[in-house]
Structure 1
Amino acid sequence: MISIKISNFFFLGITVLTLPVIGCTTLFAPKKSPAQVVNTTTATVSSTPIPKTLFGMHIQEPTKTPWPAVNVGALRVFVPWFFIQPNKGEWKFKILDKYVDLAEQQGVEVLYVFNDTPKWAAARPNEVGEWGKDFPGVASEPKDMEDWRNFVRTVATRYKGRIRAYQIWNETNNKNDYSGSIEKMVQMAQEAYKVLREVDTNIIVVSPGAIAGLDLPGNESWISLGGVDWLDQYFAKGAAAYTDVVGPHLYSIKEKAPEERVQTIRRMQQVMAKHKLSHKPLWDTENAYAKFPNEQPFTDEEARGFIARTYIIYWASGISRFYWYAWDVNTQIHPNWLKMVQADNKTLTPASIAYSEVQKWLIGATMKSCQPDSNKIWICQVTRDNNYTGWIVWNPEGKLPFKVPSNWNIKQVRDLAGGKSTLLASGSVEIGRSPLLLD
């Protein structure tokens, strides 16, 4: 494990010798900037029925972790290049085969991330990156682009028709993950895009997952540039032509509620519009919540609320897919993370139960509106066939009584623990940080 102090928090990079770890688990404290204030309340809602693929997931250890006991709509897979091709001409597909087999058995779409150059192919083979001294060169671009093209072609050909989407690198503004220039990453994207389309014209190419959450502290040596700005330059230098989906990582921390992520989403959408990418999907390809080491663990209400509110607000704000990190997050390395399962990787937590329940509320429904009222109570209207209308309500600031409008014709109240109750004769219900569905 590599531990690099960031203000009062820690960036944790994980070195695993037998199995790759998905993603780069980075959290950061936000920096407020008045010049970058964007509308954080009003959501522009899609008229498309909500698909199951909104609910993406990571699984770190597919050979050890049972498949999630809740529905998963999409799977993001991270098996490093150096793991698949440890030496030129040597290929090891066992772990990636396992991921793809599991996903097929569950009917789940796969997003594979190209990342981590092997030492033999690296332009800077002795440079230490996120995997430490045992695997140097991982953050470097390849010395010979033909090695990169061959890797992309070999993977795409092997999994043609089985892996639908590919992401061009992980966290490219994290120097431990990528130490090259933006220009070089644009070249890599161009080469990969061409090869992928030669293999299969139906392949979806996703932009790098730059860390684009609320403003970074600003003095961290491990960050080359804020994620929104990094992607802005990436597109400006030509990569917009090689992008089918924009896929940043919108990491935040406990003090920044899910509602406040709308600010970063709007900034990202402004960059997309600038580069004529507004018609392309926007995905959050890796994200989670954590507390600082000196804080108390998440309460059950916090856990349920953060999970459900994030997915609801994301869809309302224009994000069509969100990959949670991770189903089996390492509890020893990440004791303060919001967990989906207990240490046995089987027993569900309030967070994973909420993940399952909010799917029932959303998948197949159309969201008609979603925004806070004058009292900062969020109200989201969802409809279905057969004249169904439901109302999802919560107050991000805590519990208070809510008088249900009589014209809603509410019969029952559903919560994120799977409970149901009849609306009181008074027509009032107590709401809080954990959303309720009134229908």
Structure 2
Amino acid sequence: MTINSDTGRMPGFRTGSVRLWNSETRWGTIETSPGRYDWTTLERLVRAAERERLPVLFTIAGTPWWAAPDGRKSGFADSSASPPDDLKVWDRFVEKLATRYRGRIESYELWDYPSHPLMYAGSLETLGEMVERASRIIRRIDPNARLACPSFGSLWTGKGRALLREFARTGAYAHCDAAALKMPPRKGDGRPEEIIELSRSMRNLLHEENVHDIELWNTGPEWDIDSTPPLDARQAGDYAVRFYLSGLYGRHYGVRRMYFYNWGSTHVPIIVQPVGGPPAEPGKRVGRLAAWLDGARITACGRGTRMDLPPGMYSCRFQRDGRDGTPFTVRWSVHGRTEVSLDKGAHRLRHMDGSTVRARPGDRIGIGEEPVLIEHLAE
């Protein structure tokens, strides 16, 4: 989950890790004048994540105005979209940050959404150099920290893809463990399964640019997320769960992390939990999915007729660890409710509302946009 709050509260449902962005932790918010740092908010958030045993992905972005006094305006009052005039001040901040949070911040994202001029207004060569310099510093101070190259977006468009290709040609990916990317559906209210298509395209694009064997981290939506109309209650609950399932499906194309945007805000199309309030239904379902998958590994995913399923139906199979681990399958459809026959060994169904019902092989059940877990007897 991307945490959109500076309170120190964390999700009230199970999640795998937290990403700090739009949480009042920008570089320009922390280093308010040269060499003077206010770590108060970041410390509060890191400590809260530590209490919940949640790894932290920290996004380094937002040049302080004093470091680029003639720079371009950004989307934030405390920051410039331009890189610093002197990259030595970037080096100094990265060194201070990595030293203070060595072993506490698990990973770093080296700029957010450079595809938009209100987020980054410098050259890609400079951004590539900033990545190389930050990588050298962080790896020296905290060798276990993981590094994600800047999260490019607008990847459904030719312009956005061209920008990503141009950045890849700087050689910066050689200094990163992952390519952070904005990989949402085509539209803010589109089907989450479109993420699978985009992840395949991005894997191929990076291969064409000689970037191989790099993880893909989906770190959020497009720039216009705040203007996307809210999803209705049914769509919202199904969407949040299918977002993560689509990421698991995309493991075949190198996807290794999915950060939902966001936790805490009430000004997004899907509210998972407002700050200070209980989890909304989408948040509860995300937590339930996490419980379903606890202690399991994914073994295969497929869809439609390739899996002897109706068109538009998706299926992912999992295996629990241990000698007594039981296999199970999660299925859902994007074409409305469709009946299917349960496979050999099926003996129990789990639904997103928390209910459990017994089942038998050959039973006909209806599966729609709400994912259903089908448990099988141990093989």
Return the TM-score normalized by structure 2.
0.88
Q: Which residue of 2 aligns with 1:261?
A: 195
The yes-or-no answer on 1:324 pairing with 2:269 is no
Percent identical residues: 24
Range moving further from structure 2, 357-366 or 280-289: 280-289
Q: Which residue of 2 aligns with 1:231?
A: 164
Q: Which residue of 2 aligns with 1:184?
A: 126
Q: Which residue of 1 aligns with 2:285?
A: 354
The yes-or-no answer on 1:285 pairing with 2:196 is no
The yes-or-no answer on 1:304 pairing with 2:237 is yes
Please list every run of 5 or more consecutive structure 1 residues that lacks an aligned counterpart in the other structure.
1-56, 219-224
Cα root mean square deviation, aligned: 2.3
Q: Tell me how far apart the structure 1 counterparts of residues 355 and 341 of structure 2 sit (CA, whole Å).
A: 20
Q: Deviations over 1:303-344 (max 9, x none)?
A: 222122221121121211111111111x2xx2x511102x56
How many residues align? The count is 360
For residue 279 of structure 1, give the secondary structure of its aligned residue in structure 2.
coil
Please list every run of 5 or more consecutive structure 2 residues that lacks an aligned counterpart in the other structure.
none
Q: Which residue of 1 aligns with 2:303?
A: 372
Q: 5, 16, 27: which one pairs with 1:73?
A: 16
Q: Tell me how far apart the structure 1 counterparts of residues 137 and 336 of structure 2 sit (CA, whole Å).
A: 52
Q: CA, structure 1 residues 161+214, in 2 after alignment: closer, same or farther (shift >3 Å)?
A: same
Question: Could you tell me whether the CA contact under 8 Å between 2:347 and 2:360 is conserved in 1?
Answer: no
Q: What letter is aligned with 1:418?
A: G
Question: Could you tell me whether the CA contact under 8 Å between 1:350 and 1:417 is conserved in 2?
Answer: no
Q: Tell me how far apart the structure 1 counterparts of residues 74 and 30 of structure 2 sit (CA, whole Å).
A: 18
If each structure's strand is expressed as a fraction of its own residues, which one has the higher value? 2
If each structure's helix is expressed as a fraction of its own residues, which one has the higher value? 2
Q: What letter is aligned with 2:196?
A: V
Displacement of 1:84: 0.6
Higher RCO (C-alpha under 8 Å, 6+ residues apart): 1
Q: Which residue of 1 aligns with 2:208?
A: 274
Q: CA, structure 1 residues 419+124, in 2 after alignment: closer, same or farther (shift >3 Å)?
A: farther
Range moving further from structure 2, 186-195 or 271-280: 271-280
Displacement of 1:201: 2.0
The yes-or-no answer on 1:430 pairing with 2:366 is yes
Q: Deviations over 1:200-247 (max 9, x none)?
A: 2222111101114433xx7xxxxxx40x43222212112122111111
For residue 246 of structure 1, give the secondary structure of its aligned residue in structure 2.
strand
Displacement of 1:432: 0.5
For residue 369 of structure 1, give the secondary structure of its aligned residue in structure 2.
strand
Range moving further from structure 2, 385-394 or 152-161: 385-394
Q: Which residue of 1 aligns with 2:182?
A: 249
Q: CA, structure 1 residues 235+369, in 2 after alignment: closer, same or farther (shift >3 Å)?
A: same
Question: Could you tell me whether the CA contact under 8 Å between 2:115 and 2:154 is conserved in 1?
Answer: no
Q: Which residue of 1 aligns with 2:147?
A: 205
Q: Tell me how far apart the structure 2 counterparts of residues 95 and 189 of structure 1 sit (CA, whole Å).
A: 24
Question: Could you tell me whether the CA contact under 8 Å between 2:348 and 2:360 is conserved in 1?
Answer: no
Q: Tell me how far apart the structure 2 counterparts of residues 97 and 70 of structure 1 sit (CA, whole Å).
A: 22
Question: Could you tell me whether the CA contact under 8 Å between 1:123 and 1:141 is conserved in 2?
Answer: no
Q: CA, structure 1 residues 145+308, in 2 after alignment: closer, same or farther (shift >3 Å)?
A: same
Range moving further from structure 2, 114-123 or 422-431: 422-431
